[in-house]
Structures are given as C-alpha cells and as structure tokens.
Amino acid sequence: MSWVWLSIAILCEVVATLSLRASNGFRRKVWLVPVVAGYGLAFTALGFALAAGMPVAVAYGIWTAVGIALIAVLARAIWRDPLTKRMLVGICLVIAGVILVELG
C-alpha cells in the first residue's frame, strides 16, 4: 500500500507544481486552489506512505526523481519550457542516484 500512497503523493505534487506555474506568480487566482490542495494532499499521501513502512530516503528520493522528470516533460509539452540534452542527463543522474539509494 505504501507504493500506492507514494504514487498519489507524486501525482498531487506534480499537479500542484504545474498549477503554481499556471498561476503566473499568483496573478491567476483560480490556480491557487489546486496549488494548495495538491501540496496538502501530496504531503498527506507521503505521510501515509511512510506510515505504511516505506523508508523515508527511498520515498523522498523516488518522489523527487519522478517529480522532476514528470514536471520537466509536462512543462515542455504545455508551455514549451526548455528541456535540453544536458537537463535530460541531469534527470537521468537523479534517477540513477535514487536507484543506488534504493539498492542500499
């Protein structure tokens, strides 16, 4: 069950972060609801993942790595944000680091 909670946490955090970008510096007030709700649900779900027995280093590492990758790809698709080869290498290095932490 911890993996389900972690997945929910990741999705909520990605939605919140993309909504933060869409809010245009909080000028578009309608986006504040998904920002606040998304981060609140993300931290709640992360707490449940930890309570279900997932080690904090593993949970946070996966949350960070998957979040970075999803946000970078989605921001590129939605707003045409830059996604260079160097950035992709960096994302791969983060993911590789998380895998090494997971393996112990």
DSSP state of 71: H
Provide the domain limits for residue 36: 2-103
pLDDT at 18: 98
Total structural domains in the chain?
Answer: 1
Separation between Cα atoms, residue 93 and residue 96, nearest integer Å: 5
- Averaged pLDDT of the chain: 95
pLDDT tens digit string along 1-21? 999 999 999 999 999 999 999
How remote is the C-alpha of 55 from its chain's centroid? 17
Measured at the CA of 79, the angle between CA 76 and CA 80, to 5 degrees, comes to 50
Q: Is the pTM of this model over 0.75?
A: yes
